[in-house]
Structure 1
Amino acid sequence: MRQLITLHVNGERKEVAVLPHHTLLEVLREDLGLIGTKHGCELGECGACTVLIDGTPVLSCLTLPLEVLNSKITTIEGLEHNGQLHPLQETFAELGAAQCGYCTPGMLLSGAALLETHPEPTREQMKEALAGNLCRCTGYTKIYEAVEAAAQRKKERR
């Protein structure tokens, strides 16, 4: 039996009728149509389903919607602000940090959270922050370079 709940997603209040056994990933993709959050392993191992909960990267495949009722949920669709891409989205595109693109939403959200807490992260901090997001295509070098470029861009825009 579905239960009507209110979620705060990408700055908007959303009322949605959810099945109690559905994960946040399923609710975002199937009920709210936010398909940017990727469905990967369902085991919490790949990071493709990463979203931000109150600014912290969380695996939506392991999270129940009832756990985040009073939280601010940000998906990849909500990373841009006032029609402007996040600096990390810009640098990912410019530097070719995305290849197949499947891990990209999770990488971007984890990277954006890192830049909020560490405006000029070291490579070690990047490796730690992105460790939960697996990429089979890039070897991570371009991703780290994109994070560094985004940090510089954010610094210049301040």
Structure 2
Amino acid sequence: MSNDSTSRFQAGQTGLIVRIPNAELAVRAWRERFDPSAQAGVPAHVTVLCPFLDESRIDARVCSALADMLGSHRAFDLQFESCGRFPGVLYLAPEPDTQLRRLTEVIADRWPEAPPYGGQFAEIVPHLTVADGQDDALLDEIEGELISKLPFTSRGLIS
């Protein structure tokens, strides 16, 4: 069951992500087929905050505030050793995820009008989506292949 849901991304919508370049080899083919964000041109990543502010609100002050906030956090490595699931979604679980959670909290506190996940979910669960909107049988197949490519470590690049 393929899901062509790139339309869920609205014009002007922004997000803050940590790019995970080392994941590309393991996940690119699956993401290109089954992750709408990849189909929209977004690289392998862990979302920090999406949706963020509308692009019309991104100005020098917002960029400066983000730079200050992000500059106060030390660089960190993430280990990807296992997969996780949400309904219809397969993802890679980053460990440790404490710094990712903290980044989300700090930015959401600064811009309360941009709650994590648009306020849809109470818990922040950092993850790298591999497939979205698929049935369990396909997610099982993808996970079986991914397991052979784990673990790997990546230094996150904030975008």
The two structures have a TM-score, normalised by structure 1, of: 0.31
The two structures have a TM-score, normalised by structure 2, of: 0.31
Question: Looking at both structures, which has the greater relative contact order when contacts are Cα pairs under 8 Å and sequence separation is at least 6?
Answer: 2
